Amino acid sequence: MKDLLQHADEIPVTLVVALAYATVAILTGSIGLNFADSEKLFAWGSLAPMDAPLQPWRLLSYAFVHANLVHLVFNLSFLLNIGPALERSMGSLKFLALYVVAAIGSGVAVCLLYEVPQPVVGGSGALFGMMGALVAWNMHSGRHLFAFLEFEGPRRLMSMIVANLVIGFLIPFVSNTGHIGGLITGFAVTFLFLTPVRRGIRSRRPWQIAIAALFASLTFACIVPVWRWDWLYEQGLNETGARRQSIERAVARSISGDQLGEQIDPELAHLYYQQVGGLLETLRKRRGG
Amino acid sequence: MPEVGAPAEGPRVPVPLPAGQRLALLLIWLVAAVPPALWLVSRSDPDLAVQLVHRGTVWVTRLALGAGAVLALAALLFPPVPAWLRLRWNELRLSLTSDRGPLLRAMGELEHFASAQRHYEVGRLALLRREFSLALPHLQAALEMEPDMAAAHHHLGLAMFRHGQLGVAAAAFARAEELDPGHAFGDALLYLGRCLDLADHHQQAVEVLRKHQARHGGGHRSHYWLGLALLAAGDAHGAADAFAVAAAPPAQKITAEENWFRALARVRRWRGGAS
């Protein structure tokens, strides 16, 4: 087992991820300047919050799919720029874990905070996770947490993160929600799990357990979004009686943003429920699901 | 000079979590408990779960906005924030108002005749413009041609210090000080002390920084760094005294960098010199 792990730690994960980007881009036809066909992107793993409850694997798959050539080249160059150095310093297996967890963290942020039908693609959330990892690595190597800010390289890294986030806010079709989710996840997972333990430092175990529980809980919330009309609608399909009425009220409240008051008329709630069904069907047809 | 970069020896001692961290952990657990709890509520009454989420979102948003406003106000009154803004503004102003002309001229002169002094000049100007990849080879070339050039050692030390290469930086500062005692008004000695402190050689750092202060007086920065070194060496009283001197109001206008260290020292004083 130890030998196997040692061999696995020699796989150049950055290169494998880069090849995966390129392969999926060819398969989805994302190698032109125009955006690729949304049906193909959906077939290869794009993530919209409404898809996560039924197909949770999309929380990871979207991080290998890109929208067009510019998107692909930008992320590929970013990956090849910071990936190899980070992989060398932490080891391939840890780097792989970082990429996967940061991609899922980014997907979780998208599912919790983005519009329900809006699909996202791209590895940038995971790449932001790598930047978060670099910050954590630097913080961990100083005498105190912010000692690294005395040095030029880490200060440039911070500037790069801020610049990328500002660019994300300025360009309308960039999901900064996912970027920030990936950044925070990459930082947390590296700071608590991937950096070596320092002498005399307080035990990280309580933090590790708490953050792992939080991550699991938020992922659970993506798969079981009890407050969202799309998930509630699916739940109501097989229900009858009082529970069905409660679900219809919940759907009406959810899609109206709680504007219908304390008591919702059952007929009005039923009407909302029917309309939500039609809306979901239209959204799925348009996106090819 | 001790070997810089060697890890401090000693057994691993688990330290109990302070109250603030325990509170933060409790909050994380509470947040983590929300989705499963909502799911349980939703199993019996889906409408109630949606109502809870909506009301919770409203309250959390209000709390976050309120806390954000209070934090923003507090940050502006917190000494390091205005000092940091002044420091960054100063850097931005310098970068916008200085061109690359002198550096290009120095590089042009180097093409006609390469001397240690000219290599050093290119390295110095490049370092001023934070062009480290250009500065380093020229400073190294200057030292290859003239190994006893104190100024080149000092600038090499500065470049390495900014890159976090503390061992090389400390050696360069030590050599600069050895070749030209009091070089750059004691800057080499001051940075040597800081390098030693950052590399966990606190006692040596204290000695070097005290020597610097005895020879060159001491600004806010040197007293602040001395305070940090004393604190790390276990002398809390000495550290408090050093922070008090570093935090004292200046008699005349000080540079943005000195102001930054004064602001940090003021915070240390409020915290009673604690780490």
DSSP A186-234: HHHHIIIIISPPPTTPPPSHHHHHHHHHHHHHHHHHHHS-TT-HHHHHH
A contacts of B17 (beta carbons < 8 Å): 202-203, 206
A contacts of B260 (beta carbons < 8 Å): none
Q: What percent of chain A has pLDDT over 70?
A: 97
Q: Which residue bears the tokens 């925070």? A: A184
Answer whether residue B112 shows pLDDT above 70.
Answer: yes
Residues 6+ apart with CB under 8 A from A256: A272
B contacts of A220 (beta carbons < 8 Å): 35-36, 39
Render pLDDT for A133-150 as a digit per residue (tens, 0 to 9): 999 988 887 766 777 777
Respond yes or no: is residue A30 known to be catalytic. Answer: no
Listed by start position, the domains of chain B span 35-73
Render pLDDT for B180-217 as a digit per residue (tens, 0 to 9): 888 878 889 999 999 999 988 999 999 999 999 998 88
Distance CA B22, CA B30 (A): 12
Which residue intervals of chain A are DSSP H helices?
Answer: 2-8, 13-28, 38-43, 58-61, 69-90, 92-113, 124-141, 152-170, 176-189, 205-223, 229-236, 241-256, 266-287
Render pLDDT for A214-233 as a digit per residue (tens, 0 to 9): 999 999 999 999 999 999 99
B2 vs B76 pLDDT, higher one: B76
Q: What's the average model confidence in pLDDT over B104-117?
A: 85
Render pLDDT for B20-49 as a digit per residue (tens, 0 to 9): 889 999 999 999 999 999 999 999 999 999
DSSP secondary structure code for residue B15 in this structure = -
* Cβ within 8 Å, pair A217-B10: no
Among residues B5, B10, B9, B8, the alpha carbon closest in space to that of B199 is found at B5
What is residue B6's predicted lDDT score, i.e. its pLDDT? 45
Q: Which residue bears the tokens 């333990």? A: A197
Buried b (16+ CB within 10 A) or exposed e, A48-66: bbbbbbeebebbbbbbbbb
Render pLDDT for A247-273 as a digit per residue (tens, 0 to 9): 999 999 998 887 777 788 888 989 999
B1 touching A (Cβ < 8 Å): no
Q: What's the average model confidence in pLDDT over A45-51?
A: 91
Among residues A128, A107, A245, the alpha carbon closest in space to that of A183 is found at A128
- Write down the pTM of the prediction: 0.72
Render pLDDT for B65-94 as a digit per residue (tens, 0 to 9): 999 999 988 888 888 888 888 888 888 887
Query: Which of A200, A224, A226 faces B12 most closely, judged by CB atoms?
Result: A200
B195 touching A (Cβ < 8 Å): no
B contacts of A243 (beta carbons < 8 Å): 46
* Cβ within 8 Å, pair A235-B46: yes
Respond yes or no: is residue A7 known to be catalytic. Answer: no
Provide the Cα torsion B106, B107, B113, B117; round to 10°.
50
Q: Give φ, ψ of A47 to 5 degrees.
A: -120, 120
Say whether A120 sits in a helix, a strand or coil.
strand
B130 vs A108 pLDDT, higher one: A108
* Residue B32 Cα distances to A187, B48, B107, B132, B189, angstroms: 18, 19, 59, 45, 51
Least confident of A173-177, B40-44, B59-63, B97-101: B97-101
Task: Enter the tokens of residue B105.
Answer: 């001229």
Task: Enter the tokens of residue A214.
Answer: 């939080």
Q: Give φ, ψ of A120 to 5 degrees.
A: -125, 150
Among residues A223, A283, A273, A236, the alpha carbon closest in space to that of A253 is found at A273
* Residue B257 Cα distances to A66, B10, B161, B253, angstroms: 45, 36, 16, 12
Distance CA B265, CA B56 (A): 41
What is residue A210's predicted lDDT score, i.e. its pLDDT? 95
- Marked catalytic residue, from A179, A203, A246, A270: A179
Render pLDDT for A147-189 as a digit per residue (tens, 0 to 9): 777 777 788 888 889 999 998 888 888 889 999 999 999 999 9
* Cβ within 8 Å, pair A213-B29: yes
Query: Which of B25, B29, B198 faces A143 most closely, judged by CB atoms?
Result: B198
Distance CA A191, CA A202 (A): 13
Distance CA A73, CA B44 (A): 49
A contacts of B10 (beta carbons < 8 Å): 199-200
Among residues B249, B244, B245, B250, the alpha carbon closest in space to that of B273 is found at B244
- Marked catalytic residue, from A30, A106, A124, A254: A124
Query: Which of A207, A217, A232 faces B35 most closely, judged by CB atoms?
Result: A217
Q: Return mean pLDDT, chain A.
A: 88
Residue of B nearest to A198 (CA): B12
Total count of residues recorded for chain A:
289
Residue of A nearest to B21 (CA): A207
Among residues B145, B124, B222, B39, the alpha carbon closest in space to that of A220 is found at B39
Q: What's the average model confidence in pLDDT over A78-103?
A: 92
B256 touching A (Cβ < 8 Å): no
The C-alpha of B204 sits at a distance from chain A's nearest C-alpha, in angstroms, of: 17
Least confident of A120-134, A153-167, B146-160: A153-167
Which residue intervals of chain B are DSSP H helices?
Answer: 19-44, 46-77, 80-97, 101-112, 116-128, 132-145, 150-162, 166-179, 183-198, 202-216, 220-233, 236-247, 256-270
Give residue B59's identity as a one-letter amino acid code: W
The contact set of A with B (CB < 8 A) is 142-144, 147-148, 150-154, 197, 199-203, 206-207, 210-211, 213-214, 216-218, 220-221, 224, 226-227, 232, 235, 243, 246-247, 249-250, 253-254, 257-258, 264
Interface contacts A/B by beta carbons within 8 Å: 112
Answer whether residue A203 shows pLDDT above 80.
Answer: no
